[in-house]
Structure 1
Amino acid sequence: MKKTISIILIAVFAAVLGASTYFIVRHNKEADKQAELYSNLASVVEASAQTDAEAEPTEPIPYSEEKTLLPELAELFGQNGDLVGWISIADTNINYPVMQSVNEPNFYLKHGFDKEYSEYGCPYVQEDCDVQKPSDNLVIYGHHMKNGSMFAHLDKFKSESFWSEHKTIAFNTLTDRQKYEIVAVFRTVVYTDSPDAFKYYRFVVAGNANEFDSFIAKCKELSFYDTGVTAAYGDKLITLSTCEYSRNNSRLVVVAKRITEGGDADAAQTYAEAAAESQRPD
């Protein structure tokens, strides 16, 4: 009897061990595959940007009646028309294409740039945001992977010392090279009616200056530290969002405002123009 029980236990242990080994091997293969995919894409972008900088000007590729494609993103856009931009942050692993699928809002939550199923997904813009216009706030999601990929390195911004050396984010759309200055870094719970929840993802278009100011004030209130940077109605924002594991349904959020080539925020020069252009009531 004891011998039979021992045999059963060994068989169970072997089955569990086998399943665990299979999971680890499969996970590692997936990690390697995704690392190779995005490394190759980054190489294409960097090589194209370098070639464009060194070569004679080439015929621009039209994107719309008014704008042309950035040369470094043209090849990737040809591979996948859901591409809306490229995001990168110095001294992090964040160097990725950014996607948007309006008709299938969370498609890239579980699919890579190649549209194949993947637990890693690919950073993507919320479906009701307009990258080209752009909306007052572009909400961009990315997974927090244990191997440090996707948006995991947003965790570094919990440290004020890291932020002090990395105050800007590069987010190039298909047609414009852009930089954003960090306004606030915070965590909050989501998808709950808890009084602690801040539903930042609902802020896409400001109905008026008060709505914009209220959003910024809440971001600043929750921020881990004071960046000394704020934003005003007329500024354009990006909000980077990833999972945060200190609480259930917790998210780590980085909010930044677009800065002009001269280093000033959009609103500093266009507040009146933005109000008039958008025809939005105060």
Structure 2
Amino acid sequence: MRDHTQTLDKRAYHIFNNVIDFIITAGIVIALGIGAFSIFVDVKKTNDLKIGYTGYSMKDLGAVAWLKVAKTDIDFPIMQGKTNMEYLNKNPLGQMDLAGSIFLDSTNSPQFTDPYSVIYGHHLDDGLMFGALDAYLKKSYLEGHTNGTLETSSGRKYQLKLFSCFHVLSDNPIVFNASTQKTTEKVRDYINKQDPNHLSYDESLPIVALSTCVNATSENRVVVFGTIK
């Protein structure tokens, strides 16, 4: 009887060990699967940033416009939220993402009919998103990378001409005040003061500002100014 009981105990112990081993193995497989999926998602997000979501249309993304700058990696949909916080950490696919989106100031016309418009984007490493704007701080680079296009969701296509770039504090009431900017005069005067040697441009045209942070802790912003026609 004792031998029979011991045999049953051994079998039960063996079964218990097998169950535990299976649970541990399954847990490892699930963890590896989750890890692999996370890597896949991160790689896809990085690839989306590198190619500028060019595999999607404005309609697919609900974008208000598309920005391209010749001879650069800037080729992105422009989103617009009800507030400027909406797309700060949300990508054009609607997913939560620290890289956020390139987005138009919430108070600006999505058809870019305002005399002054501001477009924001995060500063990422390797020139991703608006990290590419850093290069414009060198006048020689600006001179060779002035042309671009801005197409709205309604099909209107503007020619973009970049003419100035410099650092601006994040609370600047002129550069970052698109909601009350009825004229480009104050912006033009400010550009002339901060960058008197800017490239020539047609002062009768609307101005567009492309803005990004210098880094995560700085109050400075890199702002590139251009006209659209």
Normalising by the residue count of structure 1, what TM-score does the alignment of the two structures yield? 0.61
Partner of 1:101: 81
Call closer, same or farther: CA 1:246–1:32 in 2, change over 3 Å.
Answer: closer
Partner of 2:175: 200
Inter-partner Cα distance in structure 1 for 2:116 and 2:219? 22
Corresponding position: 1:32 with 2:2: no
Matches within 5 A, 1:69-80: 73=57, 76-77=58-59, 79-80=60-61
Call closer, same or farther: CA 1:245–1:37 in 2, change over 3 Å.
Answer: closer
Corresponding position: 1:147 with 2:140: no
User: In the TM superposition, what whole-angstrom CA distance separates every residue of 1:124-178 from its partner, at most 9, and x where no partner exists?
Assistant: 0010000226111121000000132100011111111111111122111112121
Partner of 1:182: 162
Inter-partner Cα distance in structure 1 for 2:220 and 2:37? 28
Corresponding position: 1:254 with 2:229: no
Partner of residue 138 from structure 2, selected from 139, 159, 182 = 159
Partner of 2:105: 126
Partner of residue 208 from structure 2, selected from 238, 257, 264 = 238
Corresponding position: 1:217 with 2:206: no
User: In the TM superposition, what whole-angstrom CA distance separates every residue of 1:174-193 from its partner, at most 9, and x where no partner exists?
Assistant: 121211212321111123xx
- Identify unmatched segments of 5+ residues in structure 1: 1-24, 45-72, 192-196, 260-282
Structure 2 residue matching 1:35: 3-state secondary structure: helix
User: In the TM superposition, what whole-angstrom CA distance separates every residue of 1:187-218 from its partner, at most 9, and x where no partner exists?
Assistant: 11123xxxxx45401045644xxx53232021
Structure 2 residue matching 1:109: 3-state secondary structure: coil
Deviation at 1:84, TM superposition (A): 0.4
Deviation at 1:28, TM superposition (A): 7.3
User: In the TM superposition, what whole-angstrom CA distance separates every residue of 1:225-272 from its partner, at most 9, and x where no partner exists?
Assistant: 42122513xx2221100012498300010111113xxxxxxxxxxxxx
Aligned-partner residue type, residue 116 of structure 1: Q
Q: Which moved more, 1:236-245 or 1:249-258?
A: 236-245
* Off by >6 Å, runs of 4+ in structure 1: 25-30
Bigger radius of gyration, 1 or 2?
A: 2
- Identify unmatched segments of 5+ residues in structure 2: 1-35
Identity %: 19
Would the aligned equivalents of 2:174 and 2:187 in 1 still touch at CA under 8 Å? no
Call closer, same or farther: CA 1:247–1:218 in 2, change over 3 Å.
Answer: farther
Normalising by the residue count of structure 2, what TM-score does the alignment of the two structures yield? 0.73
Greater RCO structure (CA 8 Å; 6+ sep): 2
Call closer, same or farther: CA 1:146–1:28 in 2, change over 3 Å.
Answer: farther
Partner of 2:199: 227
Inter-partner Cα distance in structure 2 for 1:29 and 1:224? 48
